[in-house]
């Protein structure tokens, strides 16, 4: 970090100040005695100054009595009077508070002291240290206001990044820029966390410098760069870990299963299926399916620089297998990176970034019915895994198949080749102006193939692709002729290209020592081009993976084979201007205006203007504040800004002939053309207005505190409201026009507190804590639309989540329960009529008070939970002493609910063990309803299926030891560290499912647990060497 | 400093020139504002108009269930609740099925109007014929709307904007009928009696619908004239299919008796959430026997179940078994009756099923045979033409001709000739319509237009139930400017 800063400073000062040959010389070292290059030295009251060289030495013209000010980022400034011997050896005290850290804020940088907006930064090393496959996973709990939820713990599984709550039911992903190049959230898989220098998050209205893309916040990632004039330094790091599931569900064993099923069948008026219930434990399907699986990573980085050129070159391999599916659920990543900065000519610098990634991934079916884990949970324990030499059929449940047979028959492979790069030229025009021009690209080529062999999972199984156990192909009637449909292969080749051209002029000038004016003026062009081609071919010879390619298809006449393609384009043309003014270093003002033109909108609303204003006031620099020995620093910040979201679909403003039009003539279906969505030429972006008030202070030079309160209102959400039949929008494939209506509000409080200490005894300690409280509400949906339905409960069940005015996005709606009916008398005497209720049934609450539980409409369904936590928090601890280091990362999400949606309501499906405590007679329980195969309302969506999803998780804990340099130096190793670590070692939760961290890309499906692939518990050992 | 100005200027200039990069068009798809450039464009758009006729499952259901012919049935009384309310004459402004009738027919009209709007854009050989076909179809949609709802906003020859909805009033029925007749006249003039492309609208269909439209308006002599032209000219060689026991099988589709038939295919799927998207006839699977395991028929959703009243009405008429499946009787005649099983739905059970539009084991559609059936809907078949002709002649004083047409239908059924005349003849014709056409979705309209609904349908209120209510949501979405139909 120091070296980078030195570089920046050098670049900044080089042009304005030329070192004089002089008489005052000296050396600057830090408190540990190490020399400090790049320290800024200014003769007080003049414009004369210099910086220290690589060895910390400096020379400056001066005389006795001159005052020299020594300043360096990360250290406390010192002012010294030149004594008689004209030699000054200076020791700078490190400044543990983070005020002087440089944060990237979009087309520029600022120190934390200068910031007027809500911006957070995480260092790359803190991310890499987590040993998480993906960068966003490592960010969980690191930054206040940023909520990371997990879609799947499978290798290559994705997460969701939500900055300051959910603003829309559509795309809530932040804008992610890697060295200025757009990355989509899914594409983060390709990034090696070890390649990252810093992650900067713009959370408030000041993100408006990115205008129509900034409504969900902006994440700016900088990759590692080398430093000038530094010897090549080589780092090698590696770890190897073993993963296992952190939890298995508590399911019925064979004996319990038999007893409970007998009871349920008898209650349903059917013959009990088991004559003998003493069946022992039976098959534990989870034991059969879960396995331990390896995870490993190897990294090599070389950095260094000559006088005019610096470089950072890296290579890495990451490999992870799944705790379900093993090699069938696999993710591997190879990275190569060359970052290169050079001086092309005096004052002209070239920054070149090149990242290459190769990914190789395969996966098993996940999420809901048909997935491996859903089958595992619901497969019954009385069935063995094998019958003879074949997999068992689980014949009693039509849509549950043997999960091991399923894994066996899963074949897919995706490979991604991705190159990301940037070429940037910076030209320092004069001491005040600099010009930057850059071109970036992010190109990914994705090749996928999946093979569906002829498979037979048992009679009547929906997953069968064969006609019978002999794997005879299904016969399909094509124009009266029967043809065989054999094994098939699906192949796709998609390419995704994001590119950008940007150019901006920066201005920075001080006037009379007290005024500082900064300005940025720039233009930007972002483009996106995605292309895809895919095909499915049937009748692969011999039902054999070896022939799984479209070229091997033996399908007659091409009747079965299918092809498809897609192509999309988006463009964004922008200009931006930012003015900043700082008075006496304690009053800061900043104003931003961005103009965006987005191709996602029609000519009526193509161009948008996005302003933001912000200000900061360093109270601690005021005279009235005095010289507090406690409060070293105190700053107030306020910002207001407007930003937009244009990620609301392509060409939604215009009517296209993409409706359905089909009719048979001569008994052949003829395809025609009709209007799809009715056009709305006035369609525009979703608009977010955000106000932020922040407070930063530092106590005793060691405690940093930041608080932000924000109000974020998102307006003009996209809706397709009901429209009059007269418009003709309700034909097949037709839909009403998309309009801008509807509002969402997020209000929240973010707190960050950090404490660090360095003791002379050699004990260093750092603790950081952050907490975020967010209140999310839908404040308006358009007329004619009561709500947007979200996720369904159970198979073919009611809609369980909604987007509705007055409620959080994706809240759960269902029946509230009030215990169990204990007897017929209780039902009879109940003031509320609950049709079909029997003793042992859930007693529902009559929400509308009409004396009847209405199952046929929504009048008694009510709010029974929300997937949005009341607050989230993160705790990071680090300590080192004499070569030993220990660190821990804890994350907690409190107050959210989860829908338990992985229980298959089928007579023979296995059940969770809580059913052992079911109602069996008056007084047995008031919580768990009776079991029956008969008609019951106990299976409709109610709060019985909603659980508290709060959890606290020890995400990473690490113990390391660095060998003394005295020993390692002898073998030429500068630093040698070994460590053991564990991820997800402990999770405290009352939730019954595999993993309470249940996310979804679609906010209306958040918190619905369809049997999520859990995040593994990993025990690993690793090493970091520096040469 | 000059250098700086140049840079600023260049940056600003590049922005201005960049705005043109935003002019991109969707690729490989046609745009609604730039369509109708070729004959093929017109042909494809016309397919889109035909498509909406496939919502006829609603006609089969509502036309029967509202009448004394059948009950709603289904899994429970909440299964397609709108049909149960119509069954009980308790329907009101909130009714999904009635809303669908309004939405689908106007969707079809809007698709036709979109083509009429562009009618003069280019000229090509088949244009007149295509425009005549969609004239017919638009007339059919409006005829459906006017029967259901009475006065409805008349929109022709162009699309309307969302704001125009708030200025659209309900047009008096008489004007709608004028539009329907003029559209049908255009079809009659242009279309040929036959079209080599099976399923296209023909002159015969247009004449038949014109006659029906006149009959429904009680313009009997005009109707008689039109039916006479159809029956006498008959260049399409329409004739009754001799074997009425097999005429409803898929193999006997598009035969001599088909005058106006809506085509379906059993080869394309869909889902329960979008019945309008199907190419198959969903009524068929829905009509079939719940959880049926046995020969000849196949399992379905037990909708639209014939009543005991209808069963008894047939007496010994051989058309009873053509029209109604008496399931238990059928099972008893099978080789191993105890192996045959079925379930009774919670939405009602009569023991009878619609035997015309029913899923048979060898006529299953793909991929979901509950939704997809190849059975066409015979919207107007020749027997109906003959009976409507008979009625028109009887009403306009030509009893002899009326008996001739009536007895053609009776002869095919193998029942004796009618010899009555005057009011009795008219009664006999009405009776004949029920015997011949039950299960096909006309009964409710026959009862309403002949003033017999109140005596046949329990709960039917004269002055109210002749029309269905305008869906309340449509009134709201019109800005509340439409008055509800009387009594609702």
Cβ contacts of B165 on chain A, cutoff 8 Å: 723-724, 726-727
Q: Say which CATH number the domain at B484 has.
A: 1.25.40.390
CB contact under 8 A, A673 and B44: yes
Q: Is residue B413 part of a domain?
A: no
pLDDT at A392 over 90: yes
User: Does the bond joining A571 to the residue before it have cis omega, within 30 degrees of 0?
Assistant: no
Residues B52 and B177 in one domain: yes
Token couple for A204: 């408030």
The residue range of the domain holding B325 is 270-375
What is the C-alpha to C-alpha distance for residues A22 and A166, in angstroms, rounded to an integer? Answer: 60
CB contact under 8 A, B199 and A666: yes
Cβ contacts of A662 on chain B, cutoff 8 Å: 47, 51, 268, 279
Cβ contacts of B269 on chain A, cutoff 8 Å: none
Cβ contacts of B103 on chain A, cutoff 8 Å: 725, 730
CB contact under 8 A, A732 and B168: no
A698-704 mean pLDDT: 86
pLDDT at A186 over 50: yes
Angle between helices B96-117 and B57-65 (to 10 degrees): 140
Q: Is residue B297 part of a domain?
A: yes
B64-78 mean pLDDT: 90
Helix (H) or strand (E) holding B319: helix B319-323
Residue ending a domain, among B356, B375, B394, is B375
Beta pairing, strands A1008-1009 & A897-900: parallel
Q: Which residues pair with A466 in a beta bridge?
A: A473
Residue ending a domain, among B375, B394, B419, is B375
A435 touching B (Cβ < 8 Å): yes
CB contact under 8 A, B277 and A732: yes
- Give how many domains chain B has, as a whole number: 2
Q: Which residues pair with A1026 in a beta bridge?
A: A235, A975
B476 touching A (Cβ < 8 Å): yes
Cα→Cα distances A697→A620, A634, A751, A877, Å: 9, 4, 12, 21
B344 touching A (Cβ < 8 Å): no
Q: Which ipTM did the prediction report?
A: 0.95
Interface of B with A in 61-80 (CB under 8 A): 78
Residues B349 and B479 in one domain: no
CB contact under 8 A, B47 and A670: yes
What is the C-alpha to C-alpha distance for residues B362 and B371, in angstroms, rounded to an integer? Answer: 15
Token couple for A614: 């912000």
Q: Is residue B316 part of a domain?
A: yes
Nearest CA in chain A to B78: A856
Helix (H) or strand (E) holding A266: helix A254-267
Cα→Cα distances B383→B60, B140, B387, B407, Å: 17, 19, 6, 10
CB contact under 8 A, A665 and B200: yes
Handedness of CA B309, B313, B317, B319 (dihedral sign): negative
pLDDT of A796:
63
What is the C-alpha to C-alpha distance for residues A800 and A945, in angstroms, rounded to an integer? Answer: 10
Cβ contacts of A482 on chain B, cutoff 8 Å: none
Interface of A with B in 696-715 (CB under 8 A): none
pTM to 2 decimals? 0.82
Higher pLDDT, A938 or B178: B178
pLDDT at A21 over 50: no
Edge-to-edge strand list for the sheet holding A67-71: A49-51, A40-43, A67-71, A78-81
CA distance B258 to chain A (A): 14
A651 touching B (Cβ < 8 Å): yes
Half-sphere exposure of A739 (CA within 13 A, CB side): 14
Cβ contacts of B469 on chain A, cutoff 8 Å: none
DSSP A703-737: EEEEEEEEEEEEES-EE-----GGG-TTSTT-BPP
Residues B181 and B56 in one domain: yes
Higher pLDDT, A42 or B404: B404
CA distance A957 to chain B (A): 50
DSSP B182-203: HHHHHHHHH--S--SSTT---H
The residue ranges of DSSP E strands in A466-606, in sequence order, are 474-478, 481-485, 488-511, 515-538, 562-583, 587-598
CB contact under 8 A, A673 and B4: no
Beta pairing, strands B377-381 & B258-262: antiparallel
Q: Phi and psi at residue B104, in whole multiples of 5°?
A: -70, -40
Handedness of CA B66, B70, B76, B80 (dihedral sign): negative
Q: Is residue B87 part of a domain?
A: yes
Token couple for A725: 């039949």
Residues B473 and B365 in one domain: no
Beta pairing, strands A787-789 & A817-820: unpaired
Helix (H) or strand (E) holding A1009: strand A1008-1009
Read off the pLDDT of residues A293-329 as tens digits, 9 standing for 90 and up.
999 999 999 998 888 899 999 999 999 999 999 899 9
Contact B456, B450 (CB under 8 A): no
pLDDT at A53 over 90: no
Read off the pLDDT of residues B341-356 as tens digits, 9 standing for 90 and up.
888 887 889 999 999 9
Interface of A with B in 485-514 (CB under 8 A): 503-505
Contact A327, A154 (CB under 8 A): no
Residues B179 and B288 in one domain: no
Edge-to-edge strand list for the sheet holding A862-865: A787-789, A801-804, A811-814, A862-865
Q: Is residue B344 part of a domain?
A: yes
Contact B340, B332 (CB under 8 A): no
Q: Is residue B293 part of a domain?
A: yes
Q: Considering only CA atoms, which of B104, B93, B91 is closest in space to residue B48? A: B104
pLDDT at B254 over 70: yes
Q: Is residue B205 part of a domain?
A: no
What is the C-alpha to C-alpha distance for residues A524 and A573, in angstroms, rounded to an integer? Answer: 6
What is the C-alpha to C-alpha distance for residues A126 and A148, in angstroms, rounded to an integer? Answer: 16
B314-338 mean pLDDT: 95
Residues B369 and B474 in one domain: no
What is the C-alpha to C-alpha distance for residues A510 and A514, in angstroms, rounded to an integer? Answer: 7
Name the residue with tokens 């009379």: A512
CA distance B464 to chain A (A): 23
Read off the pLDDT of residues A972-1019 as tens digits, 9 standing for 90 and up.
888 899 999 999 999 999 999 999 999 888 888 999 999 899 999 999
Q: Which residues pair with B326 in a beta bridge?
A: B352
**A958 three-class SS:** strand
CB contact under 8 A, A573 and B21: yes
Residues B45 and B157 in one domain: yes
Nearest CA in chain A to B154: A726
CB contact under 8 A, A722 and B477: yes
Residue ending a domain, among B320, B344, B375, is B375
Report the share of chain A in percent with pLDDT over 70: 96
**A6 three-class SS:** helix
Neighbours of B397 (CB within 10 A): 13
What is the C-alpha to C-alpha distance for residues B176 and B182, in angstroms, rounded to an integer? Answer: 10
CB contact under 8 A, B279 and A663: yes
Cβ contacts of A670 on chain B, cutoff 8 Å: 47
Q: Check residue A898 and report its DSSP letter.
A: E
**What secondary structure, in 3-state letters, does B207-223 show?**
HHHHHHHHHHCCCHHHH
Mutate to test the interface with B, among A500, A725, A731 (most CBs of B within 10 A): A725
Q: Phi and psi at residue B376, in whole multiples of 5°?
A: -65, 160
pLDDT at A839 over 70: yes
CA distance A680 to chain B (A): 10
B163 touching A (Cβ < 8 Å): no
Phi-psi region of B418 (alpha: psi -120 to 50; beta: other; left: phi over 0): beta
Mutate to test the interface with B, among A732, A786, A798 (most CBs of B within 10 A): A732
The mean pLDDT value of chain A amounts to 88
pLDDT of A16:
37
Cβ contacts of A522 on chain B, cutoff 8 Å: 11
A561 touching B (Cβ < 8 Å): no
Q: Is residue B211 part of a domain?
A: no
CB contact under 8 A, B276 and A730: yes
A790-812 mean pLDDT: 87
Task: For chain A, list the domains and their CATH numbers.
Answer: 2-92 (2.60.40.1120), 102-228 (2.170.130.10), 787-1026 (no CATH)
Nearest CA in chain B to A733: B277
pLDDT of A5:
42
Cα→Cα distances A781→A712, A787, A805, Å: 17, 7, 6
Tell me which residue in B3, B18, B162 faces A737 most closely, judged by beta carbons: B162
CB contact under 8 A, A856 and B7: no
CA distance A306 to chain B (A): 31
CA distance B24 to chain A (A): 7
Helices (H), A492-633: none
DSSP A432-493: SEEEEEEEEEEEEEEEEEEEE-----STT-TT--BSSTT-PBEEEEETTEEEEE--EEEEEE
Half-sphere exposure of A489 (CA within 13 A, CB side): 24
């Amino acid at each position: 970090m120091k070296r980078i800063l030195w570089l920046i400073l050098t670049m900044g000062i080089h042009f304005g100040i030329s070192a004089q040959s002089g008489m005052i010389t000296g050396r600057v070292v830090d408190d540990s005695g190490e020399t400090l290059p790049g320290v800024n030295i200014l003769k007080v009251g003049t414009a004369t100054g210099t910086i220290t060289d690589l060895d910390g030495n400096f020379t400056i013209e001066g005389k006795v009595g001159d005052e020299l000010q020594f300043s360096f980022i990360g250290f406390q400034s010192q002012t010294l009077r030149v004594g008689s011997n004209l030699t000054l050896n200076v020791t700078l005290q490190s400044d543990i508070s983070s005020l002087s850290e440089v944060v990237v804020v979009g087309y520029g940088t600022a120190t934390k002291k200068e910031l007027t907006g809500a911006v957070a930064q995480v260092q790359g090393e803190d991310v890499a240290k987590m040993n998480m496959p993906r960068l966003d996973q490592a960010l969980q709990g690191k930054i206040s206001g940023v909520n990371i939820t997990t879609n799947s713990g499978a290798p290559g599984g994705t997460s969701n990044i939500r900055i300051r709550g959910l603003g829309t039911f559509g795309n809530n992903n932040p804008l992610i820029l890697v060295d200025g190049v757009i990355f989509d959230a899914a594409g983060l898989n390709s990034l090696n966390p070890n390649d990252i220098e810093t992650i900067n998050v713009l959370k408030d209205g000041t993100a408006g410098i990115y205008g129509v893309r900034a409504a969900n916040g902006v994440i700016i990632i900088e990759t590692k760069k080398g430093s000038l004039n530094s010897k090549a330094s080589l780092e090698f790091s590696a770890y190897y870990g073993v993963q296992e599931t952190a939890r298995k569900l508590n399911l019925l064993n064979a004996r319990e299963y038999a007893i409970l099923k007998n009871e349920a069948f008898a209650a349903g008026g059917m013959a009990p299926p088991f004559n003998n219930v003493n069946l022992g434990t039976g098959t534990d399907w989870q034991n059969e399916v879960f396995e331990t699986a390896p995870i490993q990573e190897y990294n090599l980085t070389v950095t260094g620089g000559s006088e005019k050129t610096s470089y950072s070159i890296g290579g890495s391999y990451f490999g992870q297998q799944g705790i379900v599916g093993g090699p069938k659920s696999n993710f591997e990543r190879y990275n190569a990176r060359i970052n290169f900065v050079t001086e092309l000519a005096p004052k002209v610098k070239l920054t070149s970034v090149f990242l290459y990634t190769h990914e190789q991934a395969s996966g098993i079916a996940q999420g809901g019915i048909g997935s491996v884990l859903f089958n595992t949970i619901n497969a019954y324990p009385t069935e063995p895994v094998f019958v003879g030499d074949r997999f068992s059929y689980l014949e009693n449940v039509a849509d549950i198949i043997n999960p091991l047979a399923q894994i066996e028959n899963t074949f897919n492979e995706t490979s991604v080749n991705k190159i990301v790069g940037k070429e940037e030229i910076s030209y320092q025009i004069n001491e005040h102006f600099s010009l930057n021009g850059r071109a970036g690209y992010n190109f990914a080529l994705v090749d996928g193939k999946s093979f569906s062999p002829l498979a037979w999972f048992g009679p009547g199984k929906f997953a069968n692709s064969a006609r019978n156990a002999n794997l005879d192909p299904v016969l399909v009637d094509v124009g009266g002729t029967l043809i065989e449909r054999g094994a098939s292969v699906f192949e796709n080749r998609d390419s995704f290209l994001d590119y950008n051209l940007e150019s901006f002029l920066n201005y920075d000038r001080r006037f009379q020592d007290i005024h500082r004016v900064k300005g940025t003026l720039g233009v930007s062009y972002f483009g996106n081009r995605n292309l895809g081609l895919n095909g499915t071919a049937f009748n692969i010879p011999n039902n054999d993976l070896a022939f799984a390619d479209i070229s091997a298809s033996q399908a007659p006449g091409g009747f079965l084979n299918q092809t498809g393609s897609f192509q999309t384009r988006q463009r964004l043309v922008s200009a931006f201007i930012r003015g900043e003014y700082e008075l006496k270093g304690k009053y800061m003002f900043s104003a931003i205006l961005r103009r965006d033109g987005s191709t996602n909108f029609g000519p009526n609303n193509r161009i948008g203007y996005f302003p933001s204003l912000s200000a900061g006031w360093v109270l601690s620099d005021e005279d009235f504040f005095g010289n507090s020995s406690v409060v070293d620093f105190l700053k107030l910040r306020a910002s207001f800004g407007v930003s937009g979201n244009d990620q609301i679909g392509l060409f939604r403003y215009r009517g296209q002939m993409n409706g359905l039009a089909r009719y048979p003539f001569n008994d052949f279906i003829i395809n025609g053309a009709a209007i799809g969505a009715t056009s709305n030429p006035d369609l525009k972006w979703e608009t977010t207005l955000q106000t932020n008030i922040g407070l930063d202070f530092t106590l005793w030079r060691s405690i940093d505190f930041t608080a932000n309160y924000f109000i974020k209102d998102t307006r003009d959400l996209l809706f397709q409201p009901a429209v009059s039949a007269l418009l003709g929008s309700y034909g097949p494939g037709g839909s009403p026009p998309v309009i801008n209506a509807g509002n969402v509000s997020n209000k929240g409080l973010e707190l960050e507190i950090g404490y660090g200490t360095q003791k002379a005894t050699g004990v260093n300690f750092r603790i950081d804590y952050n907490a975020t409280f967010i209140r999310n509400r839908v404040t308006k949906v358009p007329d004619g639309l009561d709500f947007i339905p979200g996720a369904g409960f159970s198979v073919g069940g009611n809609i369980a989540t909604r987007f509705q005015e007055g409620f959080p996005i994706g809240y759960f709606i269902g029946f509230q329960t009030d215990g169990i009916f204990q007897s017929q008398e209780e039902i009879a005497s109940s003031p509320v009529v609950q049709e079909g209720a029997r003793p042992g049934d859930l007693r529902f609450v009559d929400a509308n008070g009409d004396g009847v539980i209405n199952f046929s409409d929504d009048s008694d369904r009510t709010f029974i939970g929300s997937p949005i936590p009341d607050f989230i928090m993160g705790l990071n601890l680090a300590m080192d002493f004499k070569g030993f280091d220990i660190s821990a990362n804890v994350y907690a999400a409190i107050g959210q609910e989860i829908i338990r949606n992985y229980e298959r309501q089928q007579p023979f499906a296995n059940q969770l063990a809580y059913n052992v405590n079911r109602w069996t007679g008056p007084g047995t329980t008031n919580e768990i309803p009776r079991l029956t195969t008969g008609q019951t309302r106990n299976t409709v969506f109610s709060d019985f299926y909603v659980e508290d999803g709060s959890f606290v998780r020890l995400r990473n804990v690490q113990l390391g030891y660095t060998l003394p340099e005295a020993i390692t130096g002898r073998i030429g190793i500068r630093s040698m560290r070994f460590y053991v670590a564990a991820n997800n070692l402990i999770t405290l939760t009352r939730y019954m499912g595999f993993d309470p961290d249940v996310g979804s890309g679609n906010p209306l499906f958040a918190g619905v647990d369809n049997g999520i692939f859990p995040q593994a518990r990993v025990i690993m050992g690793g090493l970091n060497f520096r040469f | 400093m000059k250098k700086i100005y140049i840079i600023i200027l260049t940056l600003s200039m590049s922005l201005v020139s960049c705005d043109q990069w935003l002019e991109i068009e969707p690729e490989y798809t046609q745009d609604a504002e730039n369509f109708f450039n070729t004959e093929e464009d017109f042909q494809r758009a016309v397919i889109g108009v035909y498509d909406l006729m496939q919502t006829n499952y609603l006609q089969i259901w509502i036309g029967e269930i509202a009448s004394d012919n059948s009950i709603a049935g289904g899994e429970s009384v909440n299964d397609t609740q709108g049909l149960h309310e119509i069954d009980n004459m308790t329907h009101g402004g909130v009714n999904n099925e009635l809303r669908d009738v309004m939405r689908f027919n106007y969707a079809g009209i809007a698709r036709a109007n979109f083509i009429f709007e562009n009618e003069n854009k280019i000229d090509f050989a088949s244009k007149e014929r295509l425009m005549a076909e969609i004239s017919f179809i638009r007339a059919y949609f409006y005829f459906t709307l006017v029967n259901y709802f009475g006065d409805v906003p008349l929109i022709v020859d162009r699309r309307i904007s969302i704001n125009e909805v708030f200025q659209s009033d309900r047009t008096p029925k008489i004007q709608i009928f004028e539009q329907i007749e003029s559209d049908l006249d255009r079809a009659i003039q242009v279309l040929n009696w036959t079209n080599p492309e099976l399923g296209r609208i023909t002159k015969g269909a247009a004449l038949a619908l014109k006659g029906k439209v006149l009959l429904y308006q009680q313009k009997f002599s005009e109707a008689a004239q039109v039916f006479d032209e159809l029956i006498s000219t008959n260049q399409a060689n329409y004739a009754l299919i001799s074997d009425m026991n097999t005429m409803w099988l898929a193999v006997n589709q598009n035969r001599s008796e088909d005058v106006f038939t809506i085509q379906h295919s059993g080869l394309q799927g869909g889902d329960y959430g979008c019945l309008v998207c199907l190419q198959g006839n969903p009524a068929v699977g829905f009509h079939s026997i719940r959880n049926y395991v046995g020969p000849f028929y196949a399992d379905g959703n037990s909708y639209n179940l014939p009543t005991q009243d209808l069963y008894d009405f047939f007496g010994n008429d051989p058309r009873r078994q053509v029209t109604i499946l008496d399931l238990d009787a059928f099972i008893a005649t099978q080789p191993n009756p105890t192996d045959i099983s079925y379930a009774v739905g919670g939405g009602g059970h009569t023991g009878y099923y619609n035997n015309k539009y029913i899923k048979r084991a060898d006529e299953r559609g793909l991929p979901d045979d509950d939704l997809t059936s190849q059975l066409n809907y015979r919207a107007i078949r020749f027997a109906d033409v003959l009976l409507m002709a008979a009625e028109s002649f009887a009403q306009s004083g030509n009893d002899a001709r009326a008996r001739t047409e009536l007895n053609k239908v009776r002869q095919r059924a193998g029942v004796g000739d009618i010899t009555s005349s005057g009011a009795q003849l008219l009664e006999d014709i009405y009776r004949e319509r029920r015997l011949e056409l039950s299960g096909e979705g006309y009964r409710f309209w026959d009862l309403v237009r002949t003033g017999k609904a109140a005596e046949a349908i329990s709960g039917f209120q004269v002055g109210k139930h002749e029309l269905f209510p305008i869906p309340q949501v449509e009134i709201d979405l019109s800005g509340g400017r439409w008055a509800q139909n009387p009594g609702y």
